[in-house]
Structure 1
């Protein structure tokens, strides 16, 4: 069986590089054909794996745009636990599958293979609440991936309410993550957190012309 050609997509270069490093030991089963930070895949890929880290758009919307690319065989959404309605929306928009970020690397490769075969599209292993796979801005400073995602959205200028919608968590959870972020990076105000984020690579490598807000 030939290796599955995989394109990795996210707005942050450190994130796609981290995904590649996480999955590199499985080369032979998967082949990396492109690392994209502009939401567009130029190479022919069997699977385009879209990492939703700090995306300013809804995950189903962004992954569906990738699915419309004629060079992509199947688009797969790689995200934190999202609601069944969002998963259903993504699948209805043409996305081939969903893989939770709580999935360890070996199970992630198995999930990619299953989705490529046309088997079970949703892969969300139970009993895992936190994951530290791959790489992300702020990891060396001690931020968890989820904390880094919240801080990235703050750095992009989103309000707590918008972050809660984008991250599919409660407003109280957003506030908890923010307090934790502030402690880790040694700030006490939002403006300080934004400045810290700008100085430490929390702005996307891909910058949209206009911040996209949900209506």
Structure 2
């Protein structure tokens, strides 16, 4: 469950029925979250400026006033700490990659079940970069640049640090205050970035880079 202290979300879709359904999914995971709904990009900006910066923007790919490149750039400039999640029926990989490069933190397909959408959104909110498009609910971490630790995000380095110290996924989740599901996403991304297939292989590369769990308190 998300930390409700940081839970203000701007939800944008020009189809009220889907918007209402997604709002119910989000509130089912965190009843304390505040959701501001919008039907156009102008409304997105207006809702976002009504108080503290939103914890997240959850945006349809196609709705009035939203031009992906320009709009994502504008959101990143004004709300750099907010996560941006795109939801869409579209599943073209090239388009999704462009969205991620433009500043989106994750992409969630509308064909997913309510449970899988909730898991994907939660994982993105907890720091994972996720693309979830298949109807069977398969989730994939966005691959990082395979350049040892330089290719890892700060959260992935934390996960690798604890993995190297021998902690299980459940223990890492408890230590970092995130869900085991999100830990699995991070571990998958770490394996991809380091070019390994096992925890032992990841730990060996971490040790070679000078990371061996010594930062654990």
Instruction: Calculate the TM-score normalised by the size of structure 2.
Output: 0.48
More helix by share: 2
> Higher RCO, 1 or 2 (CA under 8 Å, sep at least 6)?
1
Structure number, greater radius of gyration: 2
